[in-house]
């Protein structure tokens, strides 16, 4: 019989510890920012970046604003549907209104519109999950996904952000930049998403040199165990900010399929970029 040890910290303390991790993602207000508007944005970003709903105390510690002001702001956003409140636990999370605005962004983004039919066709050709993502600071944000029809497949990640250094999408976009530009984008410390995640800038730069030569990027279990991913940047603008990728479970990846995936990505990137240049986007 295996005995489970008791957790060393209480749930409340664990939530407080996680809240500290959010602090690094909270953007400081610009000198000319309107205080109330800036606080609203910082609050929404703090909750969006948190892995769990947060209490008033956790938010106050992360944002460093008076509790009374923060409480009134929270109640306003709850009333407008931007946040929801669990009165039993005293926590707050992102509400459905935020989803509606995010969906509107995707509906009106011309790159997403131009890419949608192309990645749908690519998914049909290679029968693997295909993604579109955009570089945002040191991360990539997933904008669209088309899931494979296989029983073993990758779940859609639309709306999620992942460190660029740990994804084939991010690596493909970093590879089209100079070493100095890459260094300016990298975080001070690399989080280890899996045991295979690249550990430091020196190792990353070695990878990027190879990817520049290949014309595409790949990663093997650096982001998700059991997955190998390939990506190509969309060269409709310089430097590229968007990329498409295909995620393949290692269990069914062989050299022939790898070549099919890479060639499919190259052709899809060409079609999308030609379309976007025609629309004068960039």
Q: Rounded CA gap, 272 and 5, in Å?
A: 54
Structural domains for the chain: 11-97 (1.10.10.10), 109-278 (3.30.450.40)
Long-range pairs for 129-132: beta carbons < 8 A, 24 or more residues apart: 129/153, 129/154, 129/156, 129/246, 129/247, 130/244, 130/245, 130/246, 130/247, 130/268, 131/157, 131/169, 131/244, 131/245, 131/246, 131/247, 132/242, 132/243, 132/244
> Residue 42 is encoded by which pair of tokens?
């910082």
SS3 55: strand
Which string of b and e fits 188-206 if b means at least 16 CB within 10 Å?
Answer: eebeebeeebbeebeebee
The three-state secondary structure class of 219 is strand
- Which helix (H) or strand (E) covers residue 85, if one does? strand 83-86
pLDDT in tens, the chain (282 residues): 333 333 444 444 444 444 444 444 444 545 545 778 888 888 888 888 888 899 999 998 888 888 888 999 999 999 988 998 998 999 999 888 887 787 777 778 899 999 999 999 999 999 999 999 999 999 999 999 898 876 554 555 777 889 999 999 999 999 999 999 999 999 999 999 999 999 999 999 999 999 999 999 999 999 999 999 999 999 999 999 999 999 999 988 999 999 999 999 999 999 999 988 876 655
Cα 151-145-81 angle, rounded to 5 deg: 115
Q: What is the pTM of this model?
A: 0.72
Strands 161-163 and 91-94: unpaired
- Asked if 141 and 159 touch (Cβ cutoff 8 Å), the reply is yes
- Token pair of 151, please? 């029983």
- Burial of 168-177, coded b for 16+ CB within 10 Å and e otherwise, reads bbbbbbbbbb
Which tokens in the block code for residue 191? 């989080």
Identify whether the C-beta of residue 157 lies closer than 8 Å to the C-beta of residue 142: yes
Select from 194, 206, 202, 129 the least CA-distant residue to 163.
Answer: 194
């Amino acid at each position: 019989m295996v005995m489970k040890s008791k957790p060393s910290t209480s749930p409340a303390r664990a939530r407080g510890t996680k809240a500290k991790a959010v602090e690094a993602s909270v953007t400081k207000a610009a000198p000319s920012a309107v205080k109330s508007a800036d606080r609203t944005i910082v609050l929404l970003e703090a909750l969006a970046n948190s892995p769990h709903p947060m209490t008033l105390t956790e938010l106050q510690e992360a944002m460093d604003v008076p509790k009374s002001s923060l409480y009134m702001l929270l109640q306003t956003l709850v009333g407008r549907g931007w946040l929801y409140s669990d009165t039993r636990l005293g926590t707050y999370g992102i509400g459905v209104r935020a989803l509606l605005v995010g969906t509107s962004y995707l509906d009106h983004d011309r790159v997403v519109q131009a890419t949608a039919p192309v990645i749908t066709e690519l998914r049909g050709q290679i029968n693997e999950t295909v993604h579109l993502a955009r570089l945002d600071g040191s991360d990539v944000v997933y904008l669209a996904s088309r899931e494979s029809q296989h029983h073993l497949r990758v779940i859609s990640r639309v709306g999620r952000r992942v460190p660029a250094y740990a994804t084939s999408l991010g690596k493909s976009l970093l590879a089209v930049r100079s070493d100095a530009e890459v260094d300016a984008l990298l975080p001070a410390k690399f989080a280890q998403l899996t045991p295979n995640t690249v550990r430091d800038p020196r190792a990353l730069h070695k990878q990027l040199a190879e990817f520049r030569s290949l014309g595409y990027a790949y990663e093997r279990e650096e982001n998700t165990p059991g997955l190998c991913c390939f990506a190509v940047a969309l060269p409709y603008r310089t430097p590229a900010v968007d990329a498409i990728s295909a995620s393949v479970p290692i269990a069914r990846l062989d050299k022939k399929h790898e070549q099919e995936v890479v060639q499919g990505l190259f052709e899809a990137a060409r079609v999308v970029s030609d379309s976007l240049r025609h629309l004068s986007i960039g």
